[in-house]
Amino acid sequence: MAASKEVISRGRPVVRTSKRADKSSQSFMERLPSEILIKILSYLDASALFSISHVNKLFYRLANDNALWNKIYITEFGKNEKQKSKCMDELLQKMATAELQDRAAGYWKWLFFKTVAACDMNKWKRHLGLISRHTGLPSQTERVLRNLHVTWELTVSGKSGREGTLELSWSQFCETSVCLCWSGGGCLPNYQQISTLQLHGVRRVALSCPGLKKPGWRSLMAKLDLQTLTKSTQVIGQDRLVELKLLQPGIIIGIWKDQCSVGFIMFTLHFHRLVERSIQGSSVCPYVEPMVKPPFDDIDPEYGLHGYQLHIVLHNTECKLMSASFSQLFCLRTQICDGLIQLTAINMTNLSQHTPLSGNITLPWRCEALQGVVENCCIMSLTLLDEFRKPFWCVSSPVSMRLDKTHVSYDYDGEHFLIHYQDSDGQVKIKLEWMKEEKRFVVISLVVYVSVSNVNKQFGRDY
């Protein structure tokens, strides 16, 4: 019996600690009264106070004290009369009232960072008003996104209920779009086990906190239910390693060949309202573009649509293949067919309009230590402006090219190819010719088809 008791006591050791031993394990700072610690923390600025809140639970609680952040808020926004808006003045006046003093811990910390973000946005908002005459889009979009410290996160949910958020692996800005990629690294579930994908824009507040994730806000930009998209998913290309599945316009998943594991997920986002969509939504609701009643689109109904402008960019994840603008596009009412309005930018019979590409139609990809190139795929970024030079139809999506055996040309002797993009708002058909001697592609036809229902909805017409 004694032996068995000895074994039991060894298997379950009992540790007895005294209050004196607990205190001795604490640091000198932790043994100080809370009042003294609060006084010490009151000498810190916002960056230092945010950093020290990550030390332990005690400092997290103390560093969220409303009185500390009240002081920081007044110091930052109350020192310069020119910086104070009417909203800030009202907040400062109410600060001493019991209503705001009774706020939950961390309220003034949240309010400080929110006000800093609003001031930065106002500072850069005027840059979004600089519109490019070629694209009709803000010419400083990339600069504003970088200066506002905007990034993007992808949340992947599995059918089992497990959820994980991935940091952006790499991004590539082009003329009118940005390409975002997340590589799995073993963190992504099996493709068949993915339930939903959520894309969030994340606005970070710039603080001097090395090694810490900066405070920020998330804006939902897209939420995809993969179970409902399975039927419409199509393979747009492949190489010896991966197969590219197009979930919906702008979103592809790279699946390792002969496997169901995900290599990477790629989003292409058009610049139209990209800043607003990335930072002005909430974590569960996307940004809603304000409704603006457009003016009457044309005086003569029989004349149809006129004065439209098209800017199109063909590119991949490394370089630009083509960038061109076309103005004064029109479609007579008698030319409307099958619910589509045809706008011809490059006419096949007009050789002077034919445009050569600066490279081959390829889509390079990279994923951690692996990389490859998918042939006959690229990214198309299209911006169609109406006669008032306002964005009417904006698209940025990977597209595929296929051999067009039905086309016959007497001007060129090379093979003909077709890029055909289609969604609920319209279609794009790009016909290309392979020049054997020059060893390059030439765009010999570019036609945009706009949905009549979309035009009627936008302008209140009845075509």
Summarised one tens digit per residue, pLDDT across range 193-234 is: 899 999 999 998 877 777 677 778 899 999 999 888 877 899
Summarised one tens digit per residue, pLDDT across range 78-134 is: 655 454 455 555 555 555 444 445 677 788 888 888 888 788 788 788 888 899 988
Higher pLDDT, 7 or 353: 353
Summarised one tens digit per residue, pLDDT across range 49-72 is: 888 888 888 888 888 888 888 888
Q: Is the pLDDT of residue 291 over 90?
A: no
Cα 407 to Cα 431, 434, 440, distances in angstroms:
9, 13, 18
pLDDT of residue 9: 36
Strands (E), 289-439: 305-315, 320-331, 340-346, 355-356, 362-367, 370-375, 377-385, 391-403, 416-423, 426-435
The domains of the chain, with CATH numbers, are: 20-123 (1.20.1280.50), 141-279 (no CATH), 305-459 (2.60.40)
The mean pLDDT value for 302-308 works out to: 72
The mean pLDDT value for 368-388 works out to: 92
Nearest to 234 by CA among 219, 251, 221, 217: 251
Cα separation, 200 vs 182, whole angstroms? 13
Cα separation, 353 vs 357, whole angstroms? 13
pLDDT of residue 12: 42
In the structure, what pLDDT confidence band is assigned to residue 162 with cuts at 50, 70 and 90? confident
Cα separation, 307 vs 271, whole angstroms? 22
CB neighbours (10 Å) of residue 102?
Answer: 9
pLDDT of residue 54: 82
In the structure, what pLDDT confidence band is assigned to residue 154 with cuts at 50, 70 and 90? very high
CB neighbours (10 Å) of residue 263?
Answer: 24
Cα separation, 52 vs 126, whole angstroms? 35
Summarised one tens digit per residue, pLDDT across range 415-453 is: 899 999 999 899 999 999 998 888 899 999 999 999 888
**CA end-to-end distance (rounded Å), the chain:** 97
pLDDT of residue 25: 59
Higher pLDDT, 103 or 386: 386
Find out whether 180 and 398 touch, Cβ atoms under 8 Å. no
Cα separation, 239 vs 192, whole angstroms? 21
Decide the pairing of beta strands 440-451 and 370-375: unpaired
Find out whether 294 and 273 touch, Cβ atoms under 8 Å. no
Q: Is the pLDDT of residue 381 over 60?
A: yes
pLDDT of residue 199: 97
Length of the chain: 463
Please report the DSSP string for 61-83 in residue order. HHTT-HHHHHHHHHHHHSS-GGG
In the structure, what pLDDT confidence band is assigned to residue 141 with cuts at 50, 70 and 90? very high
Cα separation, 356 vs 221, whole angstroms? 35
- The average confidence (pLDDT) of the chain is 83
Q: What percent of the chain has pLDDT over 90?
A: 42
pLDDT of residue 185: 65
Higher pLDDT, 14 or 145: 145
Please report the DSSP string for 191-214 in residue order. GGGEEEEEEEEEEEPP---TTSPP
> Residue 162: phi, psi to the nearest 5?
-75, 140
Q: Is the pLDDT of residue 20 over 50?
A: no
